[in-house]
Structure 1
Amino acid sequence: MAASFTELKKHLYRSVKYWLCRPKPPTLVEPFSGPVVVVGSAPVSHKPADFDRTFKVITINGSQVVTKAWGIEAPDVTFVQFNQIEGTNTNAVEVRRVLSGERTKKLYVLLWRKGRERLEDGLKAFDYRYDNLEIVDRYKRMALLDLVGGVRCSELGADDKCSNGINAVLFALYNGATAVIITGINPASGGHIYNHANLARLHIQRDREILLRLMERGYPVFTADPTVSESLGLPLWDGKAPARQESESPEKSARPASKRATLLTPSLR
């Protein structure tokens, strides 16, 4: 009962703060104008058909190891969870290992609360470089799911939140991607491409729900992974020409206006 009351208070606090602050999602100075590939850390991924310099690339945590194998020295955007900077668990240590000596163009660090100077020092400690750095707080992340997915969520626990990979999909759509192709994002898989620890993946059910919701709302979301296409029903990316026929017009795929959201009340166990 006490735990339920605590969760309810947290839900109410975050909901009211979100309503008062009216946060905007992370926004690029120059919006995307073509297809965007979001590369996750699942063990299996594929380079999309017709991949060329017109695609923009977003990596998640240590998935830059995948795009480096594609010949990409610096992704256009990288999302890194705060714990990867100083965390001591296996995943954080492995993320720092594979990112050591690498660079990205735009780096978003999610939920970092220890000040920018300490963040910059933490990134220097494992020699990860960037052209531009921005911290994304909880409420900006909530705004992505609200404005693009039409879902309001107070992020009470892992089951309530979607993964950084899905947040990157929402980010790409919000910032004008004409098509979003995911690879290495599989709600049914476990483990990570950059280590052999076979760590459990979180947010499985929420990721599935949000991907299906984006399809229902007509967003141009595809997968380059056949098994994900089969399990979720996401259209398999066959190249630019088929995508132009299936996706919405550029006017509709630009930054979406706010739509009425579905309010998710917390599960009070």
Structure 2
Amino acid sequence: MEMKNQWDEDTRNDRLVAYLPVINKQSLERLEKCINKGNVGKMIIYTISEEESKLKKLGFTHEADMSGFFQGQSAKIYSFFPKETRKLSRTEKKNREVLQIVENNQSAPKAQWSNITFKSVEQSEVKKLAELYKRVFEVYPTDIFNPEYIKKAINTDYIFVLALENGSIIGAASAMKTGYGSAEITDCAVDPDARGKNILHGIILELEKQLINEGIFQVFSITRAISVGMNMTIKRLSYTFEGTLINNCIISTGYEDMNIWTKSLQK
């Protein structure tokens, strides 16, 4: 199946993100134009290994890989920083410390889900889901504080799964289908009063089950590099670390570095 190029001019996060399984003449011209303008902080390109040399010639640097992203073929993630300040990580040392903690931890999570239900979100629950996200995040890269945004997402490329306890939403996450036979586990949130029960573990397992039912077998997660909890959760679910994206998007404290984790759902 032919894979189409996709472009996302993400003004919220001052970046251009492009998925380019084929880098043709028009693509190169568009990238050069963006570099010369210098009006975005970061350019992030997902491509395949056969196309890497074209990005290197433009001055892009390899930041991470993403196994199976393009219909089972690995994506190479290249970045260019028109704004020099965007290139400098504020948390490089902390990032390394978090990865060390996560890699050294061999303990399995203890599921505490006896009174918790995991289920797909319904339209009637969208407003309360948006309220959960407001409680958990001060700032977020997408518009998940807006119920209308969530409704639109559900009707397009997203699956949202909730964790319910006594009828209240205490956790949520989504799977965003990329259009390339892969999906991103994202929008992960747990109510501060419900933490410590490994709720996200259960939510992600339910998302994976639903993706398998839809014929999607390659998943990935882009986690905050400074978050021990989130990286630990993903690692315990057998995801593999494949690199760090510097100052990738805005979450809570401003631009943050994000880790790439991938997993195949095929037995």
In the superposition, the TM-score normalised over structure 2's length comes to 0.29
Higher RCO structure, 1 or 2 (CA under 8 Å, sep 6+): 1
In the superposition, the TM-score normalised over structure 1's length comes to 0.29
Q: Write 1 or 2 for the structure with the bigger share of helix.
A: 1
Q: Write 1 or 2 for the structure with the bigger share of strand.
A: 2
